[in-house]
Chains A and B, each alone.
Chain A
Amino acid sequence: MTGKHHIVIETLRIKYEFDIRRNLTIIQGDSATGKTTLTDLLQDYARDEVNGPIRLQSDVPCVVFGGTEQNWESFIQTIKESIVFIDEGYSFIRSREFAEVIRQTDNYYVLITREALTCLPYSINEIYGIRTSGRFHYPEQIYHEFYPIYKEETECTLNKSAEPVILAEDSKSGYLFLKNCCADKECISAEGNSNIYQIIKKMPREKKMIVIADGAAFGAFIEKVLSVARYHRNIMLYLPESFEWLVLKSGIIQILNLDEILNHPESYIESSKYFSWERFFCELLEKETSDDPIRQYHKNRLTDFYLEGKNKERILEVFPEEVKVLIES
């Protein structure tokens, strides 16, 4: 499935309105914000779509998981081209088997859970809470909308005197680029998303660190990293979609409709083919440079084309100014 899907579900008393634009969306946040009421409404709508008291506006079917811990796989296999909502309390969503099954389906999934689902590559940009807006007031219809819980960039005041350490999530192209830019500054690889919080935790507090990781698949780690970073105080996080997204955004590779693809990736990324958006951006970059040995992009090594002169500068220009300054200073 591709595209952004605008959903409105309402009764005379309650209204929910939101967009779903990736294969994996997480709903969490405070209790009593209306998460279970949302799935109840969708379930009740399915019982009587025509004459019932609930109105649903959606261009694809919205299905609430109604199976059990034992039969979830057969339930999911029967659903096609739909948005599947799974309420909290099911442990199977944490399993590797669940990840393997859903990556081969053409559905989008909305998972209501506060747990970190480390088997799933979900984006920090698709973790939402639900809030009641001021547009309607009791006893009139009460309006609910989604709001993003995390941002690509953390706001913090770093210790100005300390020399920054740059921490990249892995040892591949993103790390190689940063290491090249850092010159005499320390640039280290975390060797995986799950190690980042431990490195921050062990780092002396007088030290300053910039963490740069792929936001497209960082959803399961963001809570732990931010929790530890809050007490370290000298940590800045920058979580763009992926390093390949930064390269594409820089415009150093000419691709037909590139601006349109980057502005609306959901229209181009087929969920059954790409479990995470970072894979799409990586494949796009590899494909578009494959016939040119100078520009050829490899995830595991970077040619000089990306590491020198104006091209390097243009990739750096995509970084937020405060991050760029710290990398280059």
Chain B
Amino acid sequence: MLNIYFGEMNNVSYGPTWFKYNYELTWFQEPFVQQMLEAVDKSKYVDGSVIESPVLGPIPPEKLSGGLKTLIMIYEMPDKIFDATSCGPNCARWLLEIGKKRDVTVNLRYLMPMEGLEPFELIIANNGERVRTAEAYTLAAVDYL
């Protein structure tokens, strides 16, 4: 289940830095990570530490977007709490997908839009409210930002 804590939160980790020093190449062989890579960064995993980016050409994992690095860290290290503010609106669908596979808690300091992504289920960690629609999510989250 995806739990989102909105607003200021102590002891949260910055995904891109954690990724830089902790990523493993085996992660890129996982189909789910490859799906996120193609959807968010429009890139393809080639082999070893080579990723093909449509803008930058062949790149190492360090050159992936901050949003994707954070998504991968949330997925691969579900016990840590990451600041998902580095994930743009185009990462929302993937945060929900991660929540279907793992119990994770993330911190958000902006109102990531969830419109068009129903049906979904997530918990607003600030008050424990379980929300299932974009409207309920928005109207609950907005008070904590």
Which chain A residues have a beta carbon within 8 Å of chain B's beta carbons? Answer: 13-14, 28-37, 88-89, 113-116, 132, 138-139, 142, 197, 201, 223-224, 227-228, 230-231
Q: Which residues of B contact A31 (CB under 8 A)?
A: 40-41, 65-68, 86-88, 90-91
Q: CB within 8 A of A224: which of B42, B64, B89, B111?
A: B111
Q: Given contacts A31-B40, A223-B111, A224-B142, are A142 and B55 in contact (CB under 8 A)? A: yes
Q: Which residues of A contact B87 (CB under 8 A)?
A: 31
Q: Is the CB of A32 within 8 A of B41?
A: yes
Q: Which residue of A lies closest to B69 (CB)?
A: A31
Q: Is the CB of B142 within 8 A of A30?
A: no
Q: Which of B17, B42, B88 has the most CB of A within 10 A?
A: B88
Q: Is the CB of B142 within 8 A of A32?
A: no
Q: CB within 8 A of B14: which of A89, A114, A139?
A: A89
Q: Which of B40, B109, B115 has the most CB of A within 10 A?
A: B109
Q: Is the CB of A36 within 8 A of B55?
A: no
Q: Is the CB of A114 within 8 A of B65?
A: no
Q: Which residue of A lies closest to B115 (CB)?
A: A230
When each residue 14-48 of chain B gets 1 if its CB lies under 8 Å from chain A and 0 otherwise, what string results? 10110000000000000000000000111000000
Minimal beta-carbon separation of B33 from chain A (angstroms):
15
Q: CB within 8 A of A32: which of B16, B40, B115?
A: B40
Q: Is the CB of A114 within 8 A of B109?
A: yes
Q: Given contacts A29-B89, A231-B139, are A224 and B67 in contact (CB under 8 A)? A: no
Q: Which residue of A lies closest to B90 (CB)?
A: A30
Known: A31-B87, A231-B138. 9 other contacts (CB 8 A): A33-B88, A34-B55, A37-B56, A88-B86, A113-B85, A115-B85, A138-B54, A139-B57, A224-B142
Q: Is the CB of B57 within 8 A of A32?
A: no
Q: Is the CB of B57 within 8 A of A116?
A: no
Whole-angstrom CA separation of A31 from B85 in the bound complex: 10
Q: Which residues of B contact A37 (CB under 8 A)?
A: 55-56
Whole-angstrom CA separation of A33 from B54 in the bound complex: 11
Q: Given contacts A31-B87, A32-B42, A115-B85, are A223 and B110 in contact (CB under 8 A)? A: yes
Minimal beta-carbon separation of A205 from chain B (angstroms):
12
Minimal beta-carbon separation of A132 from chain B (angstroms):
7
Q: CB within 8 A of B145: which of A32, A113, A224?
A: A224
Q: Which residue of B lies closest to A14 (CB)?
A: B55
Q: Is the CB of A201 within 8 A of B139?
A: yes
Is B118 positioned at the interface, with any CB of A under 8 Å from its CB?
Answer: no
Q: Which residue of A lies closest to B112 (CB)?
A: A114
Minimal beta-carbon separation of A21 from chain B (angstroms):
24
Q: Is the CB of A228 within 8 A of B138?
A: yes
Whole-angstrom CA separation of A142 from B56 in the bound complex: 9
Q: Is the CB of A30 within 8 A of B89?
A: yes
Whole-angstrom CA separation of A228 from B16 in the bound complex: 31
Minimal beta-carbon separation of B85 from chain A (angstroms):
6
Q: Which residue of A lies closest to B134 (CB)?
A: A231
Whole-angstrom CA separation of A34 from B138 in the bound complex: 27
Q: Which residues of A contact B145 (CB under 8 A)?
A: 116, 224
Whole-angstrom CA separation of A30 from B41 in the bound complex: 10
- Can you name 5 A-B pairs with beta carbons within 8 Å? A14-B56, A115-B85, A132-B55, A138-B55, A223-B111
Q: CB within 8 A of B68: which of A28, A29, A32?
A: A32
Minimal beta-carbon separation of B82 from chain A (angstroms):
12
Minimal beta-carbon separation of A219 from chain B (angstroms):
13
**A-B residue pairs, 6 tightest by C-beta:** A31-B67, A31-B88, A32-B65, A30-B88, A114-B110, A30-B90
Q: Given contacts A138-B54, A231-B138, are A114 and B90 in contact (CB under 8 A)? A: no
Q: CB within 8 A of A115: which of B64, B66, B110?
A: B110
Q: Is the CB of A13 within 8 A of B57?
A: yes
Minimal beta-carbon separation of A251 from chain B (angstroms):
39
Q: Which residues of B contact A33 (CB under 8 A)?
A: 88
Q: Which residues of B contact A132 (CB under 8 A)?
A: 55
